[in-house]
Amino acid sequence: MADTIQRQEFDPLATGGANRRIRARVMIYGVLTLFAAIYLLPALIIFLNTLRPLDEIVRQGFISWPGTMSLSHWGEAWSSFCIGGTCEGVSRYFINSLLMTVPATALSTALGLVNGYVLSKWRFRGDAWVFGVITLGVFLPAQMTLLPWAFVLGKLGLSNTIAGLVLVHTVQGVSFTTLFCRNYFLNVPDDLIKAARIDGAGFWRIFRRIILPLSPPILIVTVIWQFTGIWNEFLFGTVFTSGANQPITSAIVAFSGSGTGERHYNVEAASVIMAALPPLFIYLVGGKYFVRGLTQGAVK
Amino acid sequence: MTPERARAPIHRRIANLTPQLVLVPTVLAAVIYVVMFSLWTIWISLSQSTLLPNMSFSGFDAYLTLWQSKRWTVAFTNLFVFGTLYVVGALMMGTLLAILIDQRVRFEAVWRTIFLYPLAVSFIVTGTVWRWIFHPQTGVELALKDLGWISAKFDWISDRDMALYVVVFTAIWHASGFAMALILAGLRSVDSDLVKAAQIDGASMPRIYRRVILPTIWPIFVAVAVVLLQFAIKTYDLVVALTQGGPGVATTVPAIVVYDLMFQRGQIAEGAAAAVMILLGLVCVLIPYAVWSSWRQRKEGADHG
């Protein structure tokens, strides 16, 4: 008896089951919508406040429907807002971040690609040790490297420069890209390489003809991860650069942390969105690869 | 045929060494960065350095001073509270979202995108935005007052006892999409025959999740927890942007203490000691995990072979 009742619940034609299922559907979509609101609200709140006049924000706070709206604060945030004495808006810091992120991403990805190719396809004595040391770099906390980096950058004359940050992020990033690329190339059949070698192809020819054509998927993953990671990084930027040479994350903290004077919340909100846009754009465009990088990075 | 064949043996030998030569820059960088930098910082933590590095040995003085300072004990306790609530919270939230999305919902990609986007936003932006929302003069409290609730009070962010929970909430907001994505991938990997068999036995969906699906993917929960624990131990940016470690030292975490000692207070040896403690924290999480996963891989290999 009990058996038949329970079977009915999973019979798609039973009316009781249908009612239940509709109720379950409403519940599922209801809860999903509620959580989606919690996840999206901060973005919406900040965006609306970039459009509101300052006195309105000061009077009513951030969480309130805008009365009048204008796009002018975006222009101010980009080109004339004063941060720590310089009045060039965030454009300067945005460009600093680009000048830091693009070369560091390109260099660490290129090196990681070749390293990954060697470590997966050209076995030699001690390769496990080499791979081990490189991989440890992924886990080493930045705090352990702050003082040595400060010293090395000073010796190289790269203190307080974007070039210094490029160096730091490239060295740190190579561990990560090597790990990713090596794990990816392990899935390329060794026979392919062997056949090419029998045909007389050397190290670089195999790289160009076999490895490179197979790499776009992992290239996209590492570029996305390096770009978002380096763009969003804060500690190195704050410790190794100051004033007009800072990347955008440090600049944001510099203006929102200084408690003196009138706060230009609307302009600050626009600046914060500008600081968030490049990684967000990449995430929206390459979302699939973002998730792939996530799963590979976490499970391996 | 190829030009390489015609060349002298010395060229051939160089060609044979190409793979190792290619690795030289990276190995050099890694040895300097991983090995020498670590040893350097460890050595500084054992030295008499204050404002400038002073390499004369002074034993474990810096560690003693560190552990005797109230700031460090607060930071350490905060890390435990924050780490536990953050990992458990993000896992629970991630599981809930993953199960909801797993119910053959329409526009699955849209839901996933919404829940995962915080991960692409930096901790600095996340912290700044949530500080505005939580701050009594700009956020929720003022909005409630505007609605006519004059006595409304919501000042967790400036309350010594509650500020840490603001950090926990914000961190969970940032990371639960990450947990969701991995757990969802896990749910999808469960053998559908197993689920069908449970359905035929008459088990309800919640029961099937609790008894069949979630237990089979428990290794994923371990992996996510390890990654999140790593984040927790390294947490710095989020707290700086959200509360700057305050009010007082209420939300201070170890990484903030390191920065403060090294660059604000000129206590380099003590700062290095705090950095070494962070490294030890990571080691305590990562080594058992590495041992466990290699053991599991070997076992799996044995089972299949």
Q: Please state the separation of Cα A70 from the chain's center in Å.
A: 30
Distance CA B256, CA B78 (A): 12
d(C-alpha A18, C-alpha A9), whole Å: 9
Most B CBs within 10 Å: which of A54, A119, A147, as the mutation test of the B interface? A147
pLDDT band for B86, please (50, 70, 90 cuts). Answer: very high
The per-residue pLDDT of chain A, averaged, comes to 87
What is the pLDDT, as a whole number, of residue A287? 81
Region of poorest pLDDT, from A52-61, A258-267, B16-25, B231-240: A258-267
What angle, rounded to 10 degrees, do the helices at A15-50 and B123-134 form?
Answer: 90
Which of B37, B124, B278 has the CB atom closest to A252's CB atom?
A: B124
d(CA B150, CA B148): 6
Residue B8: band (very low, low, confident or very high) from pLDDT cuts 50, 70, 90 = low
Positive or negative, the CA dihedral A115, A120, A123, A126 is positive
The reply to whether B17 touches chain A by the CB within 8 Å rule is: no
Distance from CA of A183 to the nearest CA of B (A): 16
Q: What is the mean pLDDT of residues B56-62?
A: 82
Q: At what angle do helices B268-304 and B61-68 cross, to 10 degrees?
A: 90
Query: What is the set of domains in chain A, with CATH numbers?
Result: 18-80 (no CATH), 91-297 (1.10.3720.10)
Of B22, B114, B278, nearest to A39 by CB-CB distance is B114
Under 8 Å between Cβ of B136 and B145: no
Paired tokens of B177: 């999409």
Candidates A7, A32, A113, partner chain B, best to mutate (most B CBs within 10 A): A32
Question: CB A276 to CB B23 under 8 A?
Answer: no
Please tell me the predicted confidence (pLDDT) of residue A257. Answer: 61
Task: Output A74 or A258, whichever has higher pLDDT.
Answer: A74
The fold of B70-303 is: MetI-like fold (1.10.3720)
For chain B positions 85-124, those within 8 Å of chain A (CB to CB) are 96-97, 100-101, 103, 105, 109, 111-124
Give me the count of residues in chain A.
Answer: 300
- Residue of chain B whose alpha carbon sits nearest to that of A240: B263
Substitution target in A143, A228, A241, A289 with the highest count of B β-carbons within 10 Å is A143
Among the ranges given (A83-92, A151-160, B86-95, B192-201), the one the predictor scored with the smallest mean pLDDT: A83-92
Task: Give the closest-approach CA distance of B161 to chain A in angstroms.
Answer: 22
Q: What is the pLDDT of residue A6?
A: 43
Task: Look over chain B and give the mean of its residue pLDDT values, rounded to a whole number.
Answer: 88
Contact B259 A200 (CB under 8 A): no
Alpha-carbon gap: B108 to the closest alpha carbon of chain A (Å): 11
Partner-chain contact B204 A124, CB within 8 Å: no
Question: What digits encode the pLDDT tens for the residues A76-116?
Answer: 889 888 877 777 889 999 999 999 999 999 999 999 999 99
Closest CB to A133: pick one of B19, B30, B109.
B30
DSSP classification of residue B155? -
Please tell me which of the candidates A35, A124, A295 has its beta carbon nearest to residue B97.
Answer: A35
Least reliable range by pLDDT among B26-35, B36-45, B50-59, B65-74: B50-59
Give the pLDDT band of residue A14 (cuts 50, 70, 90): very low
Q: Which residue, among A150, A151, A153, has the nearest Cα to A163 in the 3D structure? A: A153
| Domain spans of chain B, in order of start | 70-303
Q: Using CB atoms, pick whichever of A142, A200, A232 lies closest to residue B2.
A: A200
